[in-house]
Amino acid sequence: MAKITIGRKLNQSVDSVTAKQGDAGTTAWPVGDANKLVPKQYDHLELTYVGSTDYVQTASYYVGGAGGTLVAVLTIAYDGSYRITSVTRT
């Protein structure tokens, strides 16, 4: 079992998480509705960014890969200091 220390930053040289989703060349497991922001299964995620920043503006979730069916879009709004002010699902 992993121990989580509140307030400690993760360090790539000592912290890691490994998840095996099958052998190379096989279809990955679809991600379920763990947080209810995206209540349907999806297997592809596309992100758009605010201008040239590192801040995600939209997250589009698909089932059936990149050309598959769009199941949800999360739109993230920021204030002038790039703090998240809202997340809207459509």
* CA 77 and chain centroid, separation: 16
- The answer to whether the beta carbons of residues 43 and 72 sit under 8 Å apart is no
Asked if pLDDT for residue 58 goes beyond 90, the answer is yes
Q: How far apart are CA 8 and CA 39, in angstroms?
A: 31
* CA 45 and chain centroid, separation: 7
* AA identity, residue 16: S
pTM higher than 0.75, yes or no?
no
Q: What is the pLDDT of residue 81?
A: 87
Asked if pLDDT for residue 61 goes beyond 80, the answer is yes
Q: What is the pLDDT of residue 1?
A: 43
